[in-house]
A and B are shown apart, each in its own frame.
Chain A
Amino acid sequence: MTSRRTLWLIPALLALVTLLGLLAALIGESGIWWPLSWATLAVPCVCSLYYLVRGLMPPPQ
């Protein structure tokens, strides 16, 4: 069984990264703000696609 701390660690990090990405593009459009927003919001995006594709693949024989 996963401990409560381990269970929520990755979801909490993903939520933090997402919020950072959402705010970064609002704060400014020059300098690092937009690339920072793209990079951080790409994390939940890539994670979702990765696990979706992995979940749809047939189980190993």
Chain B
Amino acid sequence: MTARQLRWWSWIHKWSSLICTIFALLLCLTGLPLIFHEELGPNPAIDEVAEPGVRASVDTMIAEALAERPGEVVPYLFYDREKPIVKIPTAASMTSAPDTFFYKVFDVRTGKALSADQPNEGFIYVMLRLHADLFAGIKGTLFLGSMGLLLTVSILSGMVLYGPFARRLKFGEIRKRHSNRLRWLDLHNLLGIITLAWFGIVTLTGVINTLAAPIELMWQSNQLLDMAAQNRGQAQGDRKAPVDLVLANVRAAVPGMTVTTLAFPGSPFSTPTHYAAFLTGDTPLTSRILKPAIIDAASGEVVAVRDMPWYATALFVSQPLHFGDYGGLPLKIIWAVLDIVTIVILASGLYLWLARWRTSRTAAADMRAAATEFAR
């Protein structure tokens, strides 16, 4: 690498890092408790039952949820991936923002209401909003996405600079005798190159996650309407098929898959005359990839089932790789340790810039003082 190229890459690394470091630090700090959101978040106690395969009526659960919140509607059903529970939110309207939902949690086997904290309040919720959108909605999400892109540039430029900086050192060598700055420069480079692949993947998948809203919008405007159009022309009315019938028809139409979400007619993920069910497989990968099924709201018949388009699949695959919640507790612990190491890398990068800036300012002041002295 020529001296000019080295200066250019150093400039890229310095400015891409400086702009995004504070936000990257915030993301790493808020991401740390989020790794353990399942352990720290609302966790209802589940009873042991004699027949675990039995399913209670979902319509009865919905009626119970609505009786508690008169005048509200149920826009979705959310099934838990691990536990036999279903979360039934109620809201002022079918298109209300999710942070206004009131959740009632039920045991799917017994239909019994379970006591659980609301998922849209408390410590984990605050961490999630800070991590996902800085409490600023889609604008905040896209802003954090742009910071993630800068971080990706910083990681790539850091990798390019590792070669020229480390070529005089053995792998793992840290110069401790000269100065604190040199010690931290070596540590910053070394920890950066060790965690490069993990940090790069987590950053890139985080950027993809920030595109969730535009991806959902694309799916709604292309695929959802296209699927629903398959039964256009049939008589529609206000009559709605029972949810239990809808779920039974979906399970029969797509055997071997599990319903994770049901969007009710009129909600953003369905149409005014259709239910939309989202199903998943049972491996760590397929349990993240949603398969939509569109159901006629009046008859409860399944109208269409199809795979998600590639851009939505890319989003689903990127989610576990960002969250680190797909390999049990040991993987979460590894994720947390690597997250802490990343915090050290970011903080040391900031320290290195500050130390250099202070040194150059001191040197400039010394030169000015020497020049003044010389002039006398």
The CA of A8 and the CA of B337, in the complex, are separated in Å by 24
Interface residues of B in 167-190 (CB under 8 A from A): 167-172, 174, 176-177, 183, 186-187, 190
The CA of A37 and the CA of B283, in the complex, are separated in Å by 15
Contact B197 A1 (CB under 8 A): no
- Which residues does A use to contact B, with CB under 8 Å? 1-2, 4, 7-8, 10-11, 14-16, 18-19, 22, 25-29, 34, 37-38, 41-42, 44-45, 47-49, 51-52, 54-55, 58-59
**Does B163 lie at the interface of the complex (its beta carbon under 8 Å from any beta carbon of A)?**
yes
**Does B194 lie at the interface of the complex (its beta carbon under 8 Å from any beta carbon of A)?**
yes
Q: Which residue of B lies closest to A15 (CB)?
A: B197
Q: Which residues of chain B come closer than 8 Å to A52, judged between CB atoms? A: 187, 191, 341, 344
Main SS at interface, chain B: helix
Q: In the complex, how many residues of chain B place their beta carbon closer than 8 angstroms to a beta carbon of chain A?
A: 40
What are 7 A-to-B residue pairs whose CB atoms are below 8 Å? Answer: A19-B197, A26-B321, A38-B330, A41-B331, A52-B344, A55-B183, A58-B176
Partner of B328, one of A8, A34, A54: A34
Contact B334 A42 (CB under 8 A): yes
The CA of A27 and the CA of B186, in the complex, are separated in Å by 36
The CA of A59 and the CA of B321, in the complex, are separated in Å by 38
Given known A-B contacts A7-B163, A49-B341, A44 and B198 have beta carbons under 8 A apart: yes
Minimal beta-carbon separation of B316 from chain A (angstroms): 11
Given known A-B contacts A2-B170, A22-B321, A52-B187, A44 and B338 have beta carbons under 8 A apart: yes
